[in-house]
Amino acid sequence: MSLRLNDIAPDFTADTTQGRIRFHEWIGGSWAILFSHPKDFTPVCTTELGYMAKIEPEFAKRNCKLIGLSVDPVESHESWVGDIEETQGYRPSYPMIGDRDLAVAKLYNMLPADEPGTSEGRTPATNATVRTVFLIGPDKRIKLMLTYPMTTGRNFDEILRVLDSVQLTAAHKVATPVNWKPGEDVIIAGSVSDDDAKKLFPEGWQAPKPYLRIVKHPH
């Protein structure tokens, strides 16, 4: 069954580079990003995990934990970390799941479409997890899902931007417009009536159209 936004993120137990975890317990009261990569010791993945290591402090500031995943064993992750640090300048300190039996990959639909579903006829390509990203809230519900092709490295700055938007819109009755960045103007949510908006935003708003009500970034 495919996952949808606002579904409860499936719980699981898995081995990681930081020991065995139960996913929901590991998330605790934090936000979390679960992201998969196709294979250890491959070029695009090396750049991705190095960059995530670089910007992890930004996620930590936002009470968001990171956890990686591929179908490689934990021992492979541990030996690859040195290459990531050597070539990218940053050493991942977040855990990486060794999903050798594909249990989590299947639970989160991380395998490519030509994945046969059994061990018979498997190839390195059908064994690989595509580049997926799940943003999960403290309520354990899925807030964002992204899937990239094998040959395209992700834009993790965008994941950080989305986290800022999701956290802001969870706390205030607003939505963020196209290409929004933190600190920029936002839009009053369509579910808020003008009467309620006057109480929530006493300084008023600009409305080029009745349904497009622009206000300053709430603090």
The residue behind tokens 């995990």 is: 49
Rounded Cα distance between 9 and 164, Å, is 20
Which among 148, 124, 135 has a CA at the least distance from the CA of 47?
148
Note the helical H segments in the chain.
23-27, 43-61, 74-88, 103-107, 124-127, 156-171, 194-200
Choosing from 9, 45, 111, 215, the catalytic residue is 45
For residue 64, indicate whether it is catalytic.
no
DSSP symbols for 141-178: BEEEEEEE-TTS---HHHHHHHHHHHHHHHHSSEE--T
Contact between 137 and 143 (Cβ < 8 Å): yes
Residues labelled as active-site residues: 45
